[in-house]
Chain A
């Protein structure tokens, strides 16, 4: 296997892993709040979270290109370690991917928290458990199918990301040249042998992920029934 392909695979899997872990941390409080809050404006927040589902990646890519740059907040952040911009960097891709995959984590988690319902939580409270304790020992374990589904979907969606990375990545091998961009480049260069190899791998990967997700879904259905 050419080093370029191996680099792209390693980078893509690394990016997806980092994004999935971050989204578990970021997505949990958002999903929990969406599941339990009675605020009248919570569906507006849910809509903002879901925006990346509908927006073309170019919209996000365009905003990110500006926001990550020297004139935006990303540039200010990058200045902390002496860089000018967060574009063209692994960190920049992580930020873009976290935003882009947010709904794929939050939605399954919210559904799972709502499926748990209030009964087990009230029972735990009656037994003297604090809020955090209730969450860690009752609610989160009961919502594990949601975590599984959210994790698988986030990981897969990040692996499949293309437009945002294309716009902010700068196509740097080993740093921002992920699998989907590598395939695009191979096709444009008429190196279709390599393109076939990667594309077929992605098809197999997607098939496994979708099968896995449907199996989790069925399990989730059984648990809540």
Chain B
């Protein structure tokens, strides 16, 4: 009973989100650019932005349960489409805000030819994000598959809940290597980062969508417009993403 009342209270508190605050669910790979874009947006418009970072699948599970988000920046195009189909996203608002790039990252290995490093297999752990919930995890699975290494690498896989945890496994030294997003390691030395050739995985089209609860929210619409604009595009490009148009 107490929990039920508590849930009710949370719903009541979450529903009337302040008009000048935008709650944005963001795929973990986009953490750093999102924070920068959020700061620029706040400076420009005065609206506050509150980000929640996680794996795309995990965030969507929360959205289906009424999480008080206004905007969803996914790491794929399928989840926003599904959100619209399921009635959680507003039709006609989805667009591609970035096209992501998967990289192999390892601070202790010379990654001139990452495929050769993966084939040689002189490492004990390689970190990826969960292929079932994180698009960059799915990209990692596709990369191993297309290199014919899926079976060989399976016993060495360690799986982060999202792409941030995969990076954390590598940066703490526990895994030698990881498949992460270029944006996360954009300022690392080039020798530690191998940009995976595009034919080894399907393009990671990252779509944004306005969520159903924020249909009339001017601040949320303003945020999406800002995300499409030149100022955001410059930030997004600086983190190694491509943008459309």
Q: Is A123 an interface residue (CB 8 A)?
A: no
A88 and B61 contacting across the interface, CB-CB below 8 Å? no
Closest chain A residue, CB of each to CB of B132? A189
Residue in A68, A69, A166 whose CB lies within 8 Å of B161: A166
Q: Which residue of B lies closest to A172 (CB)?
A: B158
Which of the residues A68, A75, A172 comes within 8 Å of B159, measured between beta carbons? A172
What separation, in Å, do the CA atoms of A83 and B60 have in the docked complex? 37
Task: Please pick, from B57, B130, B168, B173, the residue contacting A171 in the complex, using a CB distance under 8 A.
Answer: B130
Provide the residues of chain A in CB contact with B124, threshold 8 Å: 83-85
B168 touches A65 (CB 8 A): yes
Which residue of chain B is the closest to A173 with respect to CB atoms? B159
Contact assessment for A85 and B173 in the assembled complex, using a CB-CB cutoff below 8 Å? yes
Given contacts A83-B124, A85-B125, contact A188 B58 (CB under 8 A): yes
A36 CB, nearest partner CB in chain B, Å: 40
B57 near A70 with CB under 8 A, answer: no
Q: Contacts of A69 on B, CB cut-off 8 Å?
A: 172-174
Interface of A is mostly: loop
In whole angstroms, what is the CA distance A46 to B149 when docked?
51
Is there an interface contact between B130 and A185, defined as CB atoms closer than 8 Å?
Answer: yes
- Whether a CB of chain A sits under 8 angstroms from the CB of B23 is no
Contact between chains at B61 and A188 (CB < 8 Å): yes
In the complex, chain B residues 112-147 whose Cβ is within 8 Å of any chain A Cβ: 124-125, 127, 130, 132-133
Chain A residue total in the interface (Cβ 8 A): 22
B70 on the interface (CB 8 Å rule)?
no
Instruction: State A10–B124 Cα separation when bound (angstroms).
Output: 25
**In the complex, which of the residues B160, B168, B174 contacts A85, with contact meaning CB atoms closer than 8 Å?**
B174
Residues on the B chain within 8 Å of A188, using CB: 55, 57-58, 61, 130, 132-133, 161
B61 x A170 contact (CB < 8 A)? no
Q: Does B176 contact A (CB under 8 A)?
A: yes
Residue of B158, B161, B168, B172 with highest tally of chain A CB at under 10 A: B172
Contact between A70 and B55, CB atoms less than 8 A apart: no
Chain B residue at smallest Cβ distance from A177: B159
Cβ of A125 under 8 Å from chain B: no
Task: List A55-96 residues whose CB lies under 8 Å from chain B.
Answer: 65-66, 68-71, 75, 83-85, 87-88
Question: Which of A83, A85, A184, A188 gathers the greatest number of chain B CB atoms within 10 Å?
Answer: A188
* Contact, CB under 8 Å: B158 / A88: yes
> B-facing mask of A156-173, CB < 8 A → 1, else 0?
000000000010001110
CB of B113 to closest CB in A, whole Å: 23
B105 at the interface (CB under 8 A from A): no
Interchain CB contact (< 8 A) of B158 among A70, A83, A170: A170
Among B138-171, those with CB < 8 Å from A are: 157-161, 168-169
Per-position 1/0 for B193-224, Cβ under 8 A of A: 00000000000000000000000000000000
In the docked arrangement, what's the CA distance between A190 and B172, Å?
30
Contact B133 A189 (CB under 8 A): yes
> Which residues of B, 89-127, contact A by the 8 Å Cβ criterion?
124-125, 127
CB of A68 within 8 A of CB of B130, answer: no
Give, as a whole number of angstroms, the nearest-CB distance from A169 to chain B.
8
A187 within 8 A of B: yes
Does B52 sit within 8 A of A, measured CB to CB? no
B64 at the interface (CB under 8 A from A): yes
Q: Which chain A residues lie closer than 8 Å to B157 at the CB level? A: 172
Across the interface, B176 reaches (CB within 8 A) one of A68, A84, A170, A172, namely A84
Residue of B nearest to A169 (CB): B158
Across the A-B interface, the 8 shortest Cβ-Cβ residue pairs: A170-B158, A171-B159, A188-B58, A87-B174, A69-B173, A85-B174, A70-B173, A69-B174
